[in-house]
Amino acid sequence: MTSIRNITRWPLLLLLSFFIQNSAFAIDPIHENLFGSAIDGYDPVAYFKEAKPVKGDNDFVHEWNDSKWYFSSAENKADFIADPEKYAPQYGGYCAWAVSQGYSAPTDPEAWHVEDGKLYLNYSQDVQNTWLKDVPGHIKSADKHWPEILAK
């Protein structure tokens, strides 16, 4: 029985060691999905123009900061190319609340907020609700932690 227990632990230990090892490396400056797409293929400009998340189209793709950015129209793509810093989410598209707490986490494109002309994404709607309780305080904290997180 002991040998079977040890055998079943190996895959778990291997997986755990992979995550521990990879957490020692610096994060990418832009959060991407497995296909190299920023914001899971959502159009960053649409958050500002349409005040909602809109899935991008394969016909309107632009590479910026080593990531693929998708757009719902040629006009949105052109606007992004003209001023990517204006439309790209803060903290590389990582969860803004997590960054304010000193770590990185992926995001849900549906959990978003524009504050003072900047796009902030969060891990989930629940985390978004926590973020919204003190947006200025969380931004101040995230701005402090973001360079440290990038350097890890």
Taking only the tens place, the pLDDT of each residue in 102-149 is 999 999 999 999 999 999 999 999 999 999 999 999 999 999 999 999
Q: What does the pLDDT average to over 45-62? A: 98
- Residues 85-119 as b/e (b if ≥16 CB within 10 A, e otherwise) read eebbbbbbbbbbbbbbeeebbebbbebbeeeeebb
**Where are the extended beta strands (E) located within the chain?**
57-64, 67-71, 108-115, 118-122
Q: Which residue has the tokens 């293929």?
A: 41
On the question of pLDDT at 20 being above 50, the answer is no
Per-residue pLDDT at 96: 98
Contacts of 86 (CB under 8 A, 6+ apart): 117
Q: What does the pLDDT average to over 51-76? A: 98
Q: What does the pLDDT average to over 19-35? A: 72
How far apart are alpha carbons 132 and 115 in whole angstroms? Answer: 10
How far apart are alpha carbons 116 and 87 in whole angstroms? Answer: 12
pTM beyond cutoff 0.85: no
How far apart are alpha carbons 77 and 69 in whole angstroms? Answer: 9
Name the average pLDDT for the chain. Answer: 89
Q: At what angle do helices 135-151 and 125-132 cross, to 10 degrees?
A: 120
Q: Are 121 and 89 in contact (CB under 8 A)?
A: yes
On the question of pLDDT at 80 being above 60, the answer is yes
